[in-house]
Amino acid sequence: MDESWKGKIVGKCKLEKPIGDGAAGVVYKARHITLDIDVAVKLLLPHQCKDDTILRFQQEARTAGLLDHEYVVKIFDVGYENKVHYIVREYVDGHSVEYYLAKQGALPLRKSTQIVKKIAEGLAAAHAVDILHRDIKPANVLLGKNGEVKIADFGVARLSSRNTRLTQAGSIIGTLAYTAPEQFKGEANQSSDLYSLGITYFEMLSGQPPYKGHNPLEYIHHHVHSPIPSIRDQRAEVPEGIDAIISRLMEKDYLDRFANASELAKALEPYTQKKTDLATKKYAPSSVHSSTKKDTESLTKNENKEASKGFSKNNLSINKEELDGLETFEATIDPPTGLSSFWVKTITFLLLFMASISFSVALFIFWFKWKKGL
């Protein structure tokens, strides 16, 4: 991590130590001189200051600044000082869900459900002020040592009523392993965040995401076409009710998911109580499903009409031309960077070419040794 800013003062904060970094900036734990509290300061360093990165950085501050909820990381300040853009935000003394998954694998059942319920409540607050997160994943859920749960990183969030894009046409926002099918059409709605949360919930309980891919096209195929896996196949102790909730979150057609995040939180509530026997508790989808389509259509009617084109329940398809048009992937995947179909084909060709050369060299060496032995 970049420690070059250690000890410096930015935005009335004395930077103490780096606690995270990435393409979108480095994050320091710091002490706010005026408020006398620990904070996290995200810096966009000079070499990272491309126009779209600056816009996204500023957008993160604006969108997260609109929220004041216990399950969303608070923003205290944003500015530009000493040739560096910065955001001063709430410090969470702990780690991300991604960290714990890497360290210990699958998380406890009830604890995972409590975390997901709180994320749903935080998303409900964001959706209530028209904000879509668009990148819900384990890395963006922070767990504090005192039990806090916080949604972080609104760097690719947007107001759902706006059509403003920070990427070129044909690009995908988010992280491919957690991206909803409709987002591959360049559209997103409130239900898209719930799909990503369903993928995250599955990973928290199984220790691995439901779909794996070696390149972007494989991820797209899984999200759009592959059957929804049952979490009980990975972890038999998970009750049928939770399995049904996760499956519903991962429905291909957004209209078949929960109507909104609040209804998801309500469905999860019985599974978060210590007095509840998780093994016998049943999920009654009718208690939520009866209002799903009506509420979803009324909440996001205009936006979702466009998002659903080509993604009806009986016709989930993306044609080859559309796939070839996805030339920019604003995503971090495993492998960590997305590749367009052009580059996938180019790399495949180069690998085959190198293999043919290696074979020719080996054949020549064999011939040379054979000739020499005569």
pLDDT of residue 257: 97
C-alpha 84/C-alpha 11 separation (Å) is: 10
pLDDT of residue 53: 61
Whether residue 239 has a cis bond before it, omega within 30° of 0: no
pLDDT of residue 246: 98
Please state which CATH number belongs to domain 94-330. Answer: 1.10.510.10
Asked if 267 and 288 touch (Cβ cutoff 8 Å), the reply is yes
Instruction: Give the contacts of 37 (CB within 8 A, at least 6 positions apart).
Output: 31, 91
Q: Can you give 144-171 as a three-state secondary structure string?
A: ECCCCEEECCCCCCEECCCCCCCCCCCC
Asked if 176 and 97 touch (Cβ cutoff 8 Å), the reply is no
pLDDT of residue 354: 77
pLDDT of residue 162: 44
pLDDT of residue 166: 38
pLDDT of residue 374: 54
Tokens of 7: 């000890």
pLDDT of residue 66: 75
Token look-up 């500023």 returns: 58
pLDDT of residue 156: 62
Per annotation, catalytic residue among 77, 135, 153, 193: 135
Instruction: Give the contacts of 357 (CB within 8 A, at least 6 positions apart).
Output: none
Tokens of 71: 């399950």
For 9-90, which CATH superfamily applies? Phosphorylase Kinase; domain 1 (3.30.200.20)
pLDDT of residue 357: 80
Token look-up 């706006």 returns: 162
List, in sequence order, the alpha helices (H) in the chain. Answer: 51-65, 97-104, 109-128, 190-206, 216-225, 231-234, 240-249, 261-272, 286-307, 320-324, 341-373
Length of the chain: 374
Please list the pLDDT of the chain residue by residue as tens digits (374 residues). Answer: 778 889 999 999 999 999 987 656 789 999 999 999 999 998 886 665 665 666 666 666 677 677 889 999 998 888 888 888 888 999 999 999 999 999 999 999 999 999 999 999 999 999 998 888 888 999 999 999 999 999 988 766 655 544 433 344 444 556 899 999 999 988 889 999 999 999 999 999 999 999 999 999 999 999 999 999 999 999 999 999 999 999 999 999 999 999 999 999 999 999 998 766 665 555 655 444 434 444 444 444 444 444 334 443 334 444 444 444 433 333 333 333 344 455 556 666 777 777 778 777 777 777 777 666 65
pLDDT of residue 352: 73
pLDDT of residue 163: 40
Q: Is 135 a catalytic residue?
A: yes
